[in-house]
Structure 1
Amino acid sequence: MAFGGAGFAISYPLAKILARAFDSCIERYPHLYGSDGRIHACLTELGITLTHEPGFHQMDFLGNAFGLLAAHPIRPLVSLHHMEKIDPFFPNMTRMKSLEHLYHVANFDPQRILQQTVCYDRRFSWTVSVSWGYVVQVFEHNVQLPDAQRVQESYLPWKKNAYGTLYEFNTRKFEVDPCKRQLVYFLDEVSLGVDGIKTIYKKKAYENCTITKNSPRKLDEIRVFSHKLELDKKQLVAPRRHCCDILPSTSDKVMEIGIRECKEDELIYMHN
């Protein structure tokens, strides 16, 4: 349920208890705004505390949500609020078509949608960040994992002249110069085969930038292979980021990546 917010969820057993006390409870809180505020007060009377779930997104900002979506927490996506204020997620699409595109790939693997994994190409010293079902970013240098996870400030504040607004997530500046920015490949298509799920990401913009011998700018397409993510209770309580590998490719314009569970003691960092 959402009423001016990102929404919330309650369990079926709690809903049955709440239903019995709800009518008398809401009469005590006519001054609270919205159904969610009144339900929160009723749950408090029952002695129930709320647990913050990172998969709910209030999205109190304007414009380009790329930074938030590309660095989604390691939790299932639950809700996205204020879509009328957000730019389309994918280039050259309307807002509705963009949402349909995201929902289409989410149907293939709803638990993995937007889940970020990072791998390093030791041959060229590239850093590759895969936000499954949405975007792949290729950095032309070594980016340490904590920095790759930080939300890029691609959006604008909710209120005009409110620069310097603090958010509940760790951020970093979004590079204005496209030639200094990482390469971005947006989801193009998804398919299911005998070896799992294949998602293809393509470059949507071509800037007039200098291309060096080992530059990732020559890449036109990135293919990502994965298996459907099934989250059990242990993984939900203590989620762990998946690992990925740069696979051999037959073309210098195509990169292939395999996503897998990390080994027990595996670390994600650039090996020398």
Structure 2
Amino acid sequence: MLTSHPLSPLLSLHHLEIVEPIFPKMDRIEALQHLFKAVNVDPGRILQQTVCYDQTSNVTISVVWGYGIQIFQGNQLLPDILASQRTFKPWRRGGVSDSSQFLIDTRDYPRDRCKRPVIFFLEDVAFGTGRVWSKYRRYTTHRCLNTSAVEDTKSISVYAKKLHQDIGQVMAPRRQCCDIIHPFSKSMIIDIRDCGFGELIAMNA
């Protein structure tokens, strides 16, 4: 669910003693400490999501700053990307995962691994010269027959200005835009920026 956090600032996390650690290969305490490395560097940007469409490689990339990146094959509709994948179940024990039970927009989590996004999790973060750098390491290990331009990509570096939540941003929040720096192979660079006047996050025809 953290990959679809709304534009509003993150205020709290609940029931972490029940859910699985939010980062792989860590226990709950280690995972929280890892997340707070990003929180301490840029608290206003934590879990803020932006979406990049890359026509050259035919992929859609969702960046959830300070946590993870998902790469989807092909052009995905923005409302579908912003909806939560149903990797969770109702709080009631024995509950069935039915989308009608949730107050948030949800979408199916594919049973076929090859239809799932390629996932990268936060590895490191730093601040310097007015910009924040964060690095994400590939977690998905399965390989599929339908190879894509990101099949060999192992890490992604993301650059952005430190986000200051002024009154205008709080009252009328706007999702930021991002650019993918070409060419890329085993590593990728993404630049997050303010959207231009009249610019929309949308796939190009």
TM-score, L = length of structure 1: 0.72
Supply the distance in 1 between the matched residues of 2:52 and 2:130 (Cα, whole angstroms): 21
Deviation of 1:99 after TM superposition, in Å, equals 0.4
Supply the distance in 2 between the matched residues of 1:186 and 1:176 (Cα, whole angstroms): 21
% same residue = 41
Supply the distance in 2 between the matched residues of 1:175 and 1:132 (Cα, whole angstroms): 24
Are 1:190 and 2:125 matched, yes or no?
yes
Supply the distance in 2 between the matched residues of 1:167 and 1:230 (Cα, whole angstroms): 32
Partner AA of 1:108 in structure 2: V
Higher mean displacement: 162-171 or 228-237: 162-171
Among 72, 91, 105, the alignment partner of 1:170 is 105
Conserved 8 A contact 2:150-2:185? no
Aligned residues: 203
Deviation of 1:160 after TM superposition, in Å, equals 2.6
Are 1:106 and 2:106 matched, yes or no?
no
Supply the distance in 2 between the matched residues of 1:233 and 1:222 (Cα, whole angstroms): 31
| Structure 1 segment 226-241 matched on structure 2, within 5 A | 226-241=160-175
Supply the distance in 2 between the matched residues of 1:188 and 1:167 (Cα, whole angstroms): 31
Partner AA of 2:80 in structure 1: D
Deviation of 1:124 after TM superposition, in Å, equals 1.5
| Structure 1 segment 179-258 matched on structure 2, within 5 A | 179-194=114-129, 196-210=131-145, 212=147, 214-249=148-183, 251-258=184-191
Supply the distance in 2 between the matched residues of 1:209 and 1:119 (Cα, whole angstroms): 23
Deviation of 1:209 after TM superposition, in Å, equals 2.5
Secondary structure of the 2:114 match is coil
Conserved 8 A contact 1:211-1:218? no
Deviation of 1:211 after TM superposition, in Å, equals 5.4
| Structure 1 segment 78-157 matched on structure 2, within 5 A | 78-157=11-90
Question: Deviations for 1:212-245, whole angstroms, at most 9, x for unmatched residues?
Answer: 2x34221111110011100111110110000001
Secondary structure of the 1:102 match is helix
Conserved 8 A contact 2:136-2:156? yes
Secondary structure of the 1:155 match is coil
Partner AA of 2:191 in structure 1: G
TM-score, L = length of structure 2: 0.94
Deviation of 1:195 after TM superposition, in Å, equals 5.3
Conserved 8 A contact 2:118-2:140? no
Structure with the higher fraction of residues in strand conformation: 2
Conserved 8 A contact 1:223-1:256? yes
Partner AA of 1:115 in structure 2: Q
What is the CA RMSD across the aligned residues, in angstroms? 1.4
Q: For structure 1, which runs of at least 5 residues remain unmatched after alignment?
A: 1-67
Question: Deviations for 1:65-108, whole angstroms, at most 9, x for unmatched residues?
Answer: xxx10011001100111111111111100000000000111111
